[in-house]
Amino acid sequence: MRKLIVSNSVTLDGRVDEVRDWALPGDDDEFVKHQTDLLSHSDGLLLGRGTYEFFAAVWPSRTGAFPDRMNSIAKYVASTTLQTLEWKNSQLIAGDVPEAVAKLKEQPGQDLVVYGSHDLKHSLLEHDLVDEYQLWVYPVVLGRGRSFFEDGVELPLDLVDTTVIPPGVAILTYQPKRSS
C-alpha cells in the first residue's frame, strides 16, 4: 500500500499563510536536497486547485533535479472548478475525492505527496488517509493567519524523524497514532 505524505511549510506558531514571504526559495540547496529526496520515493503528487495553479505556473519553466522531478511526476488534482489541466502528467480527480485517494493508495507504486492544498489536506485528515506529516517549521512567528491544523482537530502523533537545515528550519516528521 502506498503512503500518503503531507509536506508543508509552517511558521513556529503553526501558520501557513503567505508562505512565499517567509519560506526558503525553491532553489535553496538544502531545500532542493530534502525535497528531491522526498520525491525520489514518490511517484505522485496530490494537489488542490490553488496549489496546482501556483505550481503549474512556476515549475514547468524551471530545470534541475527538483524541478525535473516535479514536472515529470504524476499529478492528481482535486478540483470542482478546473476543467482542463495543462501541466504535464496531470489528471483531474472527479467525484468523491477521499474515495479516489483511498483507491490511489491501494494501487501499486511509491508514496504520494501533498504540498500545500489546505482544504484538501483537511479532507484527507478527516477521512484518516494521511500516513505521515512532514512539517517544515520556520523560525518565524506571524501571530495571525490560517493554521496548519484547524481548530478542534485532535490528532495524536508520533515523532519519527527530525532534521535541521539552515537557516534553522526544523523538518519534523510525524505519523498518526493508529489503533491496531
pLDDT of residue 3: 97
- The CATH fold of domain 4-176: Dihydrofolate Reductase, subunit A (3.40.430)
Q: What is the pLDDT of residue 180?
A: 61
Would you list the domain boundaries of the chain?
4-176
d(CA 89, CA 70): 10
Helix (DSSP H) and strand (DSSP E) numbers for the chain: 6, 8
Q: What pLDDT sits at residue 157?
A: 97
Check if the beta carbon of residue 1 is closer than 8 Å to that of residue 130: no
* Nearest of 159, 74, 64 to residue 110 by alpha carbon: 74
What is the Cα 150 distance to its own chain's centre?
A: 16
- Region for residue 91 given its phi and psi (left: phi exceeds 0; alpha: psi -120 to 50; beta: otherwise): beta
State residue 129's pLDDT score.
97
DSSP character string of 107-123: SSSSEEEEES-HHHHHH
Return the pLDDT at 19: 85
Cis peptide before 167 (omega within 30 of 0): yes
- How far apart CA 176 and CA 118 sit, in angstroms, is 18
Residue 169: the pLDDT is 94
Rounded Cα gap, residues 19 and 150, in angstroms: 17
* Residue 12: predicted pLDDT: 95
Tens of each residue's pLDDT in the chain, 180 residues: 999 999 999 999 999 988 888 887 766 788 889 989 999 999 999 999 999 999 999 999 999 888 999 999 999 999 999 999 999 999 999 889 999 999 999 999 999 999 989 999 999 999 999 999 999 999 999 999 999 998 888 999 999 999 999 889 999 999 999 876
